[in-house]
């Protein structure tokens, strides 16, 4: 089973993407589309909850999202979840 198929069969509890959206950056008339992915994962290496394997899975899931997008995506931005108030 390839990695994409494996990710599709994982339970939802193993998914780390909370929200996703596109942003655009314009530099000297050139537009770049950024896929923004919000996650509850710890993103700071060295912190107790940081898990390289989970981050790698998140990046793989986001890469799959980029491949299946109707618009070509130029970059990925991973954003920590905002604390709830």
* Mean per-residue pLDDT over the chain, rounded: 85
**Number of domains making up the chain:** 1
**DSSP code for 28:** T
Tell me, yes or no, whether 38 lies in a domain: yes
Tell me, yes or no, whether 74 lies in a domain: yes
Q: Is 0.85 surpassed by the pTM of this model?
A: no
Question: Binning pLDDT at 50, 70 and 90, where does residue 71 land?
Answer: confident
Which ranges of the chain would DSSP assign to H, the alpha helix?
A: 3-9, 52-68
CB 55 within 8 A of CB 43: yes
3-state secondary structure of 24: strand
For residue range 28-47, list pLDDT tens digits in order: 999 999 999 999 999 999 99
Structural domain boundaries, residue 24: 3-80
Tell me, yes or no, whether 85 lies in a domain: no
Tell me, yes or no, whether 21 lies in a domain: yes
């Amino acid at each position: 089973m390839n990695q994409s198929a494996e990710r599709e069969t994982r339970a939802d509890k193993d998914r780390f993407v909370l929200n996703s959206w596109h942003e655009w950056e314009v530099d000297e008339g050139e537009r770049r589309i950024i896929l923004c992915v919000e996650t509850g994962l710890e993103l700071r290496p060295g912190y107790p909850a940081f898990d390289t394997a989970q981050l790698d899975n998140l990046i793989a899931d986001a890469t799959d999202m980029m491949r299946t997008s109707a618009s070509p995506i130029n970059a990925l931005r991973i954003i920590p979840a905002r604390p709830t108030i």
